[in-house]
């Protein structure tokens, strides 16, 4: 039996659909202005259902980071970071284009839409002229 399919209107599905179109978008609460990530149905700040999708700036800074150690034959070490977006929301992702251990807290990063087996996703690269 096939697993249940989420509604195309589900917030997470819409987030993915925007990524597939090349747009990294976040929900913004019409009631209190909170920028929301991960996508959801209610504002976590005020409970409003009036949420509007807006294109994110893609700018952020590394809030927390670690290097996951992995054997080279399994793909080698990789970075996992929590990035604080310029809009205020934080998201877990990874910083690419630099050695995993070279990622530092406070590093300026820019969002890039990448694709893996699960579809499009947001990863980050060191910002132009930014860095640690
Ligand atoms: Zn709100």
Q: d(Cα 104, Cα 101) in Å, to the nearest integer?
A: 8
Q: d(Cα 16, Cα 18) in Å, to the nearest integer?
A: 5
- Are residues 132 and 68 located together in one domain of the fold? yes
- Are residues 63 and 94 located together in one domain of the fold? yes
Q: 42 C-alpha vs ligand 1 centroid, how far in Å?
A: 8
Q: Is the preceding omega at residue 95 within 30 degrees of 0, hence cis?
A: no
Strand arrangement of the beta sheet that strand 25-29 belongs to: 35-36, 25-29, 51-55
Domain count, the chain: 2
Q: 22 C-alpha vs ligand 1 centroid, how far in Å?
A: 26
- Are residues 68 and 9 located together in one domain of the fold? no
Q: 105 C-alpha vs ligand 1 centroid, how far in Å?
A: 29
Which domain does 45 fall in, by range? Answer: 1-55
Q: What is the CATH number of the domain that holds 89?
A: 2.40.50.840
pTM for the model: 0.86
Q: 10 C-alpha vs ligand 1 centroid, how far in Å?
A: 18
> Which tokens is 11 given?
């917030």
Q: 102 C-alpha vs ligand 1 centroid, how far in Å?
A: 36
Residues 16-75: tens digit of each pLDDT? 999 999 999 999 999 999 999 999 999 999 999 999 999 999 999 999 999 999 999 998
């Amino acid at each position: 039996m096939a697993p249940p399919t989420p509604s195309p209107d589900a917030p997470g599905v819409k987030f993915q659909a925007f990524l597939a179109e090349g747009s990294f978008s976040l929900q913004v609460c019409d009631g209190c202005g909170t920028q929301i990530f991960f996508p959801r149905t209610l504002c976590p700040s005020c409970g409003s259902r009036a949420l509007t999708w807006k294109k994110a700036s893609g700018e952020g800074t590394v809030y927390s980071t670690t290097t996951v150690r992995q054997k080279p034959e399994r793909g080698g070490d990789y970075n996992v970071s929590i990035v604080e977006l310029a809009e205020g929301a934080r998201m877990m992702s990874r910083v690419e284009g630099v050695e995993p251990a070279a990622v530092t807290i406070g590093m300026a990063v820019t969002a890039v839409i990448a694709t893996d087996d699960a579809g499009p996703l947001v990863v980050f690269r060191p910002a132009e002229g930014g860095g640690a």
